Amino acid sequence: MRRQVVELHTSGCLMTLAVPLALLVLFWSGIYLLNHFYIQNHINWRETLSRNGFSISPGALWWESKSLNPFFEKTGHIHRHFLSRWFTIGSHFGLLSCLCSFLFLVWNLLKMFISRNDATPSATMLTPIIPGVNLPFSQIFYFFGSLMLSGIIHEAGHALAAVVEKVEVKSFGMFLFLAYPGAFVQLKDDEDDDAGDVVTRGRRQPPSVVQQIKIVCAGAWHNAVLALLAYILWSCLPLFLSLAYYRVPHGLIITQLTPGTPFSNHLRVGDIVHSISEYPLIGKKSYRESVGYLMSDSYSSSYMCLPHSIITRYGNFSDDCCEHPRPGAQCFVVDGVQHQRLCGSAKTFLENTKEYCCPSSDLPCIQRHALCSDKSELIAVQPVLDKEDGVFMKISTDRGSFPFQGNPLSLWREVSMEELAPRWFNLLGSSLPLVLEKSMNYLASISGALALLNMAPGFYLDGQYAFDLFLKHYLEMRGKKRENTLWVVCTITTGLLLINMLLSIKSAF
């Protein structure tokens, strides 16, 4: 049975993944056909693209320009003293990040292997972002926008550091490769094998190793600062929005609902949700905790405490629905009575549940009630459900309580809630806090990941050049010894990075 469930889950993920792949193929096919059409019908099409800095190749769009060079040069010259110290701090951060990123890859890999051996859910911090699988299409603009902004800030760091160290910037550009947006900066003679063979203003002279380290580490340093600023803004959002929004005192406000789902049939944007299956919602963190509670063994094995009058009126002490399932009748077992079965309406029972409890000899309860608090008035019953059926949950709002059955993760993905509600009718709307929160979350996560992983001493990463300069300047290695050391470390790091990525992708399915 477990194998069938895993196969169904994997095939479902693959089917979901097929949609963005199909859209990607259609997009690039359209770009290719349009470009081919203009080349055939417009004689100067290639010259027009080239004159404006654009180039098109299979699966890639490029834009390169010198228009930003005056900005980098002016900023670098005016604030040279401050920026020199700024990038000195960044160079120390970058070299330290080389070690931290390597240790992180080792630690994350060990953590995944330990979780696999213990048969516990993997808690890896390196999670692949796959549109349609673990990235909802409704959040795809947050992801790509954050990725593009992080790339621009990264390359702007390299450009500013180069200007400060009197290395001439040739051009700045952006690209789209398949579905990956990014940016790049070209320095004079950047294509030379030695990273130091660059043209400096006033003389042809390679910058010192320390200057090269500043330039190489500047991108990751700017990504780290951007991630920190995004995290601070996210933490201070309630304070910044306090003039136009107030904190919901006893619950959370629904800001977004996915159309066409069972939740959208009963819940509305603007509803105040007070509790989920009697789990009180106090603050945004409690929403995530409530979903975790619904997925726990304590909840799946818990009993619903119902008044005798509800059982007598809406229930039937028989196992007819247990042996022969029928619509509107759910099978329940009664606590304390051996082999006692009960048939009744799950909707009615959920609406009238007073509290949740655990059987006397089972797992400890997450809720405060270990048993039904008043056995003379309440009867404890438990629904009989298979794992693939999900769980029963009751969402209590200011408009009443609504019962649902399914996977708690569906609730998390399809219903967005915030703790801030508009003070009065205004143009900002109730979804603004959610938009800002998601933007800051994505920006902090993506920019922070780029700061850490790009400094890993692996092939074709900034960390490779930073580690090479570290060996040259601090350890004073030369010739073959330095080349062999660099090759060994980069090979190990690249292998660790690939294994981490492959295992993380596998865990997503």
Q: Are residues 78 and 188 in the same domain?
A: yes
The overall average pLDDT reported for the chain is 80
Confidence of residue 135 (pLDDT cuts 50, 70, 90): confident
Same domain, residue pair 325 and 341:
yes
| Residues 41 and 140 reside in one and the same domain | no
The pLDDT value recorded for residue 197 is 39
Lowest mean pLDDT of 17-26, 43-52, 88-97, name the range. 17-26
Q: Is 289 helix (H, G, I), strand (E, B) or coil?
A: helix
Whether 340 maps to a domain, the answer reads yes
Over range 454-482, report the average pLDDT.
Answer: 91
375-393 b/e (C-beta count within 10 Å ≥ 16 → b): eeebbbbbbbeeeeebbbb
Q: What is the pLDDT of residue 346?
A: 77
Same domain, 275 and 345: yes
Structural domain that includes position 190 = 54-223+441-508
Which of the two residues, 88 and 111, has the higher pLDDT score? 88
Angle subtended at Cα 506 by Cα 407 and Cα 230, rounded to the nearest 5 degrees = 75
- Asked whether the beta carbons of 91 and 210 are under 8 A apart, the reply is yes
Residues 186 and 122 placed together within one structural domain of the fold:
yes
62 & 197 share domain: yes
CA–CA distance, 174 with 233 (Å, rounded to integer): 27
pLDDT, average across residues 264-272: 87
Q: Tell me, what's the pLDDT at 308?
A: 78
Say if residue 339's pLDDT is above 70: no
Of 384, 407, 430, the residue that ends a domain is: 407
Q: 378-383 and 54-57: which strand pairing?
A: unpaired
Q: 248 in a domain, yes or no?
A: no
Q: Are residues 475 and 331 in the same domain?
A: no
In a domain, 235, yes or no: no
On whether both 165 and 291 belong to a single domain, the answer is no
Domain-located, residue 6: yes
Average pLDDT over residues 460-489: 91
pTM here is 0.73
Instruction: Give the CA angle between residues 188, 146, 271 to the nearest 5°.
Output: 170
Give per-residue pLDDT as tens, 186-243. 987 644 444 433 434 444 467 889 999 999 999 999 999 999 999 999 988 888 887 7
Q: Does residue 366 lie in a domain region?
A: yes
Same domain, 291 and 155: no
Name the more confident of 380 and 268.
268
How many distinct structural domains can be found in the chain? 3
455-459-461-462 Cα dihedral, nearest 10 degrees: 70
Q: Assess if residue 328 is contained within a domain.
A: yes
- Considering the domain architecture, whether residues 79 and 212 belong to the same structural domain is answered as yes
What is the average per-residue pLDDT within 40-51?
A: 82
User: Is the residue at 251 inside a domain?
Assistant: no
Residue 377 in domain: yes
Mark whether 72 and 32 lie in a shared domain.
Answer: no
Tens digit of pLDDT for each residue in 317-330?
A: 777 777 777 776 78
Are 201 and 66 found together in one domain? Answer: yes
Does the pLDDT value for residue 40 go beyond 90?
no
Nearest to 304 by CA among 194, 403, 238, 445: 403
